[in-house]
Structure 1
């Protein structure tokens, strides 16, 4: 977790769970011929620290991160 952030649901998952998630996501990208990857990287907002989707980060009621 050295290169992740503590507010991210993906960074705080167990290693085996993350590995399974990566395999499923890779197969989805292969099935869509990479189109879903391009859409995800080009349209959705990502965390500058861990590069995961910002929608998967925990926030306070006022919208700030829990840091």
Structure 2
């Protein structure tokens, strides 16, 4: 398989352009998917798994 073709717009983009596009996809994907699959704290908006918990599983205030 060839490394890239000379006629394809994606293959002829610069390294900076390809990296920027991939970074944009990752940021957009995480921004859209995070609220769906990860529970967030209603007060601070951080992910719930980062909050401190007591031994019985309740949250520390």
TM-score (norm 2): 0.54
Q: After the TM superposition, which parts of structure 1 deviate over 2 Å for at least 4 consecutive aligned residues?
A: none
Mapping of 1:36-51 within 5 angstroms? 36-51=30-45
Q: Greater Rg, structure 1 or structure 2?
A: 2
TM-score (norm 1): 0.50
User: Structure 1: how far apart are the matches of 2:31 and 2:45?
Assistant: 13
More RCO (CA 8 Å, sep 6+): 1
Instruction: Give 5+ residue unaligned stretches, structure 2.
Output: 1-22
